[in-house]
A and B are shown apart, each in its own frame.
Chain A
Amino acid sequence: MSKSVGLEIHARGVRAVELVGSGKKIKVQRYVERAVAQRGGQPDPEELKDALNEIFRGGRFAKNAVIGCVDAHDTVTREIPVPFKANDQIRKVIKYEVEHHLHDCDADDVVVQYVKVGETAEGANLLVFAAKKEDIRRRIEACRSGGVELLAIDLDELGVLHAIEYAGLFEETPNCVVVNIGQRSTELLFVVDGALRAVRSVRMGIDSIAHGLARDMDIELTEADAKLLEISSGKSEGDLIIPADGGLDDRVDTEKSHAELEMDLFRQKRDEFVARLKREFVRSSAALRGGGDVERIIMTGPGLRVPGLLDMLSARLGKPIEVFRPGDHFAGKIGSGKNGDDENLRADFDSSSALVLGLALKGLGHDSLGLDFRQEDLKVANKFELLKNALAVAVTLVFLALMAASFLFVYEKSTLRRDIYARIQTDAYKEFNMVCDGFAKLGDSLVPERLRVAAKDIEDQKPAYETLERYNRTLRRMQRHLEAKVGGQGLEPIQSALGRWNAIMGAVQKHHKDIQYIDFDGLEVKQKSARVSIIVRDATAAGTIERAISELPEMEGLKPEGGWSWRPIKDSQYGKVTMSWRLEKKRKRRR
């Protein structure tokens, strides 16, 4: 889940909020406010460092998504026309355009951001903000001292705008003025048709009331601050009411008079503040060209805690006032304690958290203006930025090394194969040449010309891994051809009849002395049969011959076929016998 932290460093302390979620489902994860002592109008660096360390280490705020801000009253804000509409062109010239409005620094010393607030036929009207790089750098360094790297920096007044925009108040009231009463300044943000139209930052916050008290009461500023805080917390104002009971002693009466005096002074300063704010409001409203009527004033900021200020402003400004209380729009736990919310922190959150909420929202993408004052030489240099070149080089080197290792590995295998086959091929080459020599000596009609040419082609080649395969192929063709010529390898061998013929002749020759007379009338010897026709003296002699022939090894597999009979030859004492043998048929198995 996305996290973002808004961080505000003001003269009196630090305020931070952590938001989690996305889209419209964003809630407050943590909120914290830490007071820091002032030194020369700025927070004490050491205390600030400690406060940041405490927030980001102890408070478990996310350190890698922190959005900060710079004070708007230190920024030059101007509305200027430019003769372009395209942002690319505007960006090229904006710095030089704004240079005329800078009095105490060069254009190179500021970061310029702009918002297009209107377009004309000739170009565009821009609301330009120029923040000193020195101020931005100081803020970055202050955060770094506390171990925080700001991802982006916005103007404090625009942070308030983001928060109110997210809360949807501009959809309800598209023409309004946002008044943020801060410690040291008050910002007036004029919104027309739901979009920022003009900005006015007045160097006058609730601190100016404290300054007035200190000056008029001739007390230290810190003491005046404490008194104002007392009044703001609502305790003193009640005590200041003079009771009807007149039985008080002189000392009490004197105290009451003194308190009344202080209260009167406070009221006077508050009235002055309201009067001046009204003047600025009227002046700025008048200066707003083409702006719509202000329907409503949206108030926010720590100044809301000043008693009676809201009522007076409502009466003086003559416009309906709506107070933006972040607690009404952002759910979540306020405070980091086990018990969750605490009352003071909740009050601070409701009055003063709009700015930090807006900054945190910016980190979550809710930023319609898209301004960032970390530009040029102040751009974010986070770990990734610092490491990316080294990382790229390392990854590329690893990649190249692995590639090289792969190729080397394959090359070694290839070399080994080549060496092994080189030895084999040398022998194979000799053998093949010998075969080819013999092959060439065979008659032309025994070896077809194409095979002879193929063998000759191969013979001329030098040994190589691929040629071994060609040797093999050609040799296989030669073998097939020659085997076809000599009777066919793999075919069932053809049986010679000569052996069986000789055996029968021998058997008869062997017995003819026993049986006195024998003569061949006919003899047939075939692959699967044999037939002998003989002339003998009697049937007994014929039986002897039949047995002798049947027992011959050459007659294996041949069985006597049918019976035979001795038939006497006319005018002769001999007879003729014909006996046959046939290859026994293999019986088929019955299934």
Chain B
Amino acid sequence: MTEDPVKLYVVVMAILVAVLGWVAKTSYEQAAAYDHAIVDAPRQARKFSERAERVNELIVQLGTSKLKGSSYLQLVDNAARTHLGGRPTINPERPQSIPPRGKEMRWKVVVSKGSRAGTKPVTRNQIARFCRAVELDSRGILKVIEIMMRRDNSENSVPVGADQEIRNERYTCTLVVGMRVIDE
């Protein structure tokens, strides 16, 4: 006689309990997410600060370098003109891939002699000044990665005595300036 109402009640109760269970589960998950966020808050803040600091450093590094625009070539060219004299040949090379997502860019600066070269052999001091200028002006972004110099044979080599400094001979040279960048 009372089976139907009892069944109805059982069904209604089951539905209520199911809904309550779902609400409890959702609430628990939500609360767990909030708890995690609360516990994680100091780490997030520290991470954010570190990142902001790093970005600031990079901004300073880039801002104080003499890089103008994206012309690394221009910086190399300026340094070469200033320190190597004349108009040295500057050849950008094809970038080399550095796995997984980097690449190496190179510019080859050739100082040779001859009427078509636009330059004349340089001393070791000139080479050193050029190298320092490139690295300092770019705030270490650019590096002189290869220095290949050969004495200009057109000049006679005179032996240097033990009491004398090494003579500042002139050399033809090939200098390779390079940098590694993330391939964006």
Residues of A with Cβ closer than 8 Å to B? 151-152, 372, 380, 382, 384-385, 388, 391-392, 395-396, 399, 402-403, 406-407, 409-410, 413-414, 416-417, 420-421, 424, 427-428, 431-432, 434-435, 438-439, 441-446, 468, 471-472, 475-476, 478-498, 501-502, 505, 508-509, 512-514, 516-527, 533, 535, 574
Contacts and interface: CB of A to CB of B under 8 A. Distances in A.
Interface stretch (B45-53, B75-83, B114-122): B45-53
A388 B132 contact: no
Contact of B169 (A407, A489, A520): A520
Contacts of B135: 496, 498
B27 A406 contact: yes
A417 B55 contact: no
A497 B151 contact: no
A420 B160 contact: no
A525 B45 contact: no
Interface of B: 1-2, 5-6, 9, 12-13, 16, 19-20, 23-24, 27, 30-31, 34-35, 37-38, 41, 44-45, 47-49, 51-52, 54-56, 58-63, 67-71, 98, 102, 104, 124, 127-128, 131-132, 135, 139-141, 143-151, 157, 159-163, 165-167, 169, 171, 178-184
A174 to B, nearest CB: 30
Contacts of B6: 384
A523 B147 contact: yes
Contact of B37 (A417, A519, A533): A417
A420 B162 contact: no
A471 B55 CA distance: 12
Contact of B184 (A403, A446, A480): A480
B181 to A, nearest CB: 5
B184 A152 contact: no
A487 B124 CA distance: 28
A407 B27 CA distance: 7
Contacts of B157: 519, 535
Contacts of A520: 124, 149, 151, 166, 169, 171
Contacts of B143: 494-498
B182 A490 contact: yes
User: Which among B24, B51, B128 has the highest number of chain A CB atoms within 10 Å?
Assistant: B51
Given A446-B67, A468-B44, A520-B169, A494 B180 contact: yes
Given A468-B48, A518-B166, A574-B159, A498 B147 contact: yes
Contact of B34 (A395, A410, A505, A525): A410
A434 B57 CA distance: 12
Given A406-B24, A438-B59, A520-B169, A486 B141 contact: yes
Given A410-B34, A417-B34, A443-B68, A385 B2 contact: yes
Contacts of A372: 1
Contacts of A438: 55-56, 59-60, 63
Contact of A416 (B34, B61, B160): B34
Nearest to A414: B34
A482 B45 contact: no
Contacts of B131: 496-498, 501
Contacts of B167: 519
B151 A498 contact: no
Enumerate the 9 nearest inter-chain pairs by beta-carbon distance, A residue then B residue, closest first: A482-B58, A445-B69, A413-B34, A484-B182, A438-B59, A406-B27, A522-B150, A431-B52, A491-B102
Contacts of A406: 23-24, 27
Given A424-B44, A484-B184, A521 B150 contact: yes
Contacts of A444: 69
Contact of B104 (A485, A494, A514): A494
A526 B62 contact: no
B182 A480 contact: yes
A508 B124 CA distance: 13
A259 B42 CA distance: 113
Contacts of B48: 424, 428, 431, 468, 471-472, 475
Contact of B56 (A151, A434, A492): A434
30 contacts: A384-B5, A395-B13, A402-B20, A403-B20, A410-B27, A420-B41, A424-B41, A424-B45, A434-B52, A434-B56, A471-B48, A482-B58, A482-B59, A488-B102, A488-B180, A488-B182, A491-B180, A491-B181, A491-B182, A494-B143, A498-B143, A501-B128, A502-B128, A508-B166, A512-B166, A516-B162, A518-B166, A522-B148, A525-B146, A525-B147
B147 A409 contact: no
B80 to A, nearest CB: 15
B55 to A, nearest CB: 5
B145 A494 contact: yes
User: Which among A388, A444, A496, A522 has the highest number of chain B CB atoms within 10 Å?
Assistant: A496
A517 B162 contact: yes
A546 to B, nearest CB: 17
B62 A486 contact: yes
A380 B1 contact: yes
Given A388-B5, A494-B145, A520-B124, 9 more contacts: A410-B30, A421-B37, A428-B45, A434-B52, A444-B69, A472-B44, A479-B55, A490-B102, A522-B151
User: Which among A402, A446, A483, A485 has the highest number of chain B CB atoms within 10 Å?
Assistant: A485
Given A483-B182, A492-B98, A527-B146, A517 B161 contact: yes
A124 to B, nearest CB: 26
Contacts of A508: 166
B145 A495 contact: yes
Contacts of B35: 413
A420 B45 CA distance: 11
Given A399-B20, A513-B162, A484 B45 contact: no
Nearest to B48: A428
B171 to A, nearest CB: 8
Nearest to A515: B162
B41 A518 contact: no
Contacts of B13: 395
A494 B141 contact: no
Nearest to A431: B52
B6 to A, nearest CB: 7
A385 B1 CA distance: 11
A493 B180 contact: yes
Contact of A498 (B71, B144, B149): B144
B47 to A, nearest CB: 8
